[in-house]
């Protein structure tokens, strides 16, 4: 099975007043194409650092980060990112936020297909009727729907999500987890999801990485019961987990 993102003996420290802060002390794992992997671990252990290296926002001190077998040298349209908040452009409408990545030349999707793609994600993310709204007119949950739609729309192989639901209330979070689960049943992208919630990780993932306090070594990814490749029939219900 081919690899969507791979870490090969990756180390990362941050320079700080008073010396070095070693954060990642050897990350050695890979996500297969189409696989959904969650990353759990205590605050400050380096989860975002790991994701930022996959996104190309941070570089490793040593080792290699490979996307589709090629070294990651910076952010590009093959990897979509969703953050906890501030992830949508306040000056753009919902439709224009979703179209944003499509309009970047590097994306390579012809212009005459953009409207149909935006329309598809408006539908999938339950945003119909909000096409011309601005983010400030939306609830936090709706804004995250826009952020997720914007990440999926240009068709990236890999989606990197850094605690996308952490700022939402419990009920909204649950409906967003359902939505992400259902989107993945049709889209089947590779997802690396950072979360604080064990329930969320078990509900959504094929495998889970549990990081130790820093400096973290990351090598073992534990299968969590949802067979890979996943089919709709293998869905775990929230009742089963909770
Ligand atoms: P997590 O996402 O697991 O909470 P992070 O990856 O954000 O952890 O951070 C890991 C550690 O690295 C923390 O101690 C954090 O303060 C530190 N850190 C993260 N980014 C930087 C940076 N750009 N400069 C200095 N220290 C950083
Ligand atoms: Mg973090």
Q: What is the pLDDT of residues 143-161, one digit of tens each?
A: 999 999 999 999 999 999 9
- Give 151 Cα–ligand 1 centroid separation in angstroms: 24
Section 48-69 average pLDDT: 96
For residue 52 and ligand 1, the question of a CB distance below 6 A is answered with no
- Please tell me the distance between residue 49's alpha carbon and the centre of ligand 1 in angstroms: 6
Percent of the chain exceeding pLDDT 90 equals 77
Ligand 1 centroid from CA 8, angstroms = 20
CB atoms under 10 Å from CB of 10, counted, come to: 24
Query: Is 232 a residue whose pLDDT tops 50?
Result: no
Cα of 47 from ligand 2 centre, angstroms: 5
Could you say which ligand is closest to the alpha carbon of residue 84? Answer: 2
How many angstroms separate the alpha carbon of residue 44 from the centre of ligand 2?
Answer: 7
Ligand 2 centre distance from Cα of residue 198 (Å) = 16
Q: Is 48 in the pocket of ligand 1 (CB under 6 A)?
A: yes
Check pocket membership of 221 for ligand 1, CB cut-off 6 A: no
Span from the CA of 95 to the centroid of ligand 1 (angstroms): 33
| Residue 6 to residue 54: CA distance in whole angstroms | 8
Q: Ligand 1, residue 58: give the atom nearest the CA.
A: 23
How is residue 111 written in tokens? Answer: 């212009």
Q: Does the pLDDT of residue 171 top 60, yes or no? A: yes
Please report the pLDDT score of residue 227 as a whole number.
67
Residue 49 CB less than 6 A away from ligand 1: yes
Instruction: Say if ligand 1 is within 6 A of residue 177 CB.
Output: no
Average pLDDT in the 192-198 region?
94
Q: Is the pLDDT of residue 240 over 50?
A: no
Measured from the Cα of 42, ligand 1's closest atom is 3
Q: Which atom of ligand 1 is nearest to the CA of 52?
A: 6
List beta partners, residue 177.
none
Higher local confidence (pLDDT), 85 or 234: 85
Model pLDDT for residues 105-123, shown as the tens digit of each residue: 778 899 999 999 999 999 9
Determine the pLDDT at residue 86.
65
Q: Please state the rounded mean pLDDT for residues 54-64.
A: 97
Q: What is the pLDDT of residue 74?
A: 93
User: What pLDDT is stored for residue 115 in this prediction?
Assistant: 96
Averaged pLDDT score across all residues of the chain: 90
How far CA 159 is from CA of 39, 169, 193, in Å, comes to 13, 23, 8
pLDDT, position 166: 93
ipTM greater than 0.85: yes
Q: Ligand nearest 162 Cα, by number?
A: 2
**In this predicted structure, what is the pLDDT of residue 242?**
37
At residue 132, does pLDDT exceed 70?
yes
Per-residue pLDDT at 225 exceeds 70: no
Residue with tokens 């040593």: 62
Q: Given this model, what pLDDT does residue 241 score?
A: 43
Asked whether the beta carbons of 55 and 79 are under 8 A apart, the reply is yes
The region of weakest confidence among 31-45, 86-100, 154-168, 223-237 is 223-237
Backbone phi and psi for residue 67, each to the nearest 5 degrees, phi listed first: -110, 120
| Peptide bond preceding 3 in cis form (omega within 30 of 0) | no
Residue nearest to atom 4 of ligand 1 (CA): 44
Q: Where does the pLDDT of residue 77 fall: very low under 50, low under 70, confident under 90, or very high at 90 and above?
A: confident
Reported confidence tier of residue 50, pLDDT bands at 50, 70, 90: very high
pLDDT at 229: 64
- Strand order of the β-sheet with 70-71 is 70-71, 62-67, 3-16, 19-32, 216-218
């Amino acid at each position: 099975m081919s690899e969507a993102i791979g870490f090969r003996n990756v180390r990362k420290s941050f320079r700080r007043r008073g010396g070095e802060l070693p954060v990642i002390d050897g990350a050695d794992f890979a996500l297969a194409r189409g696989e959904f992997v969650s990353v759990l671990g205590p605050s400050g252990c380096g989860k975002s650092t790991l994701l930022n290296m996959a996104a190309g926002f941070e570089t490793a001190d040593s080792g290699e980060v490979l996307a589709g077998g090629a070294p990651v040298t910076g952010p590009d349209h093959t990897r979509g990112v969703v953050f906890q908040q501030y992830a949508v452009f306040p000056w753009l409408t919902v439709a224009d936020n979703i179209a944003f990545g499509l309009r970047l030349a590097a994306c390579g999707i012809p212009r005459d297909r953009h409207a149909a793609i935006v329309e598809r994600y408006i539908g999938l993310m339950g945003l119909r009727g909000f096409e011309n709204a601005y983010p400030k007119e939306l609830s936090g949950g709706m804004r995250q729907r826009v952020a997720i739609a914007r990440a999926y729309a240009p068709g990236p192989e890999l989606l990197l999500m850094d605690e996308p639901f952490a700022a939402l209330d419990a009920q909204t979070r649950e409906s967003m987890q359902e939505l992400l689960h259902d989107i993945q049943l049709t889209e089947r992208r590779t997802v690396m999801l950072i979360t604080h919630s064990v329930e969320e990780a078990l509900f959504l993932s094929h495998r889970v990485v549990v990081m130790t306090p820093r400096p973290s070594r990351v090598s073992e990814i534990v299968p969590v019961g949802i067979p890979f490749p996943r089919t709709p029939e293998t869905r775990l219900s929230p009742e089963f987990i909770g």
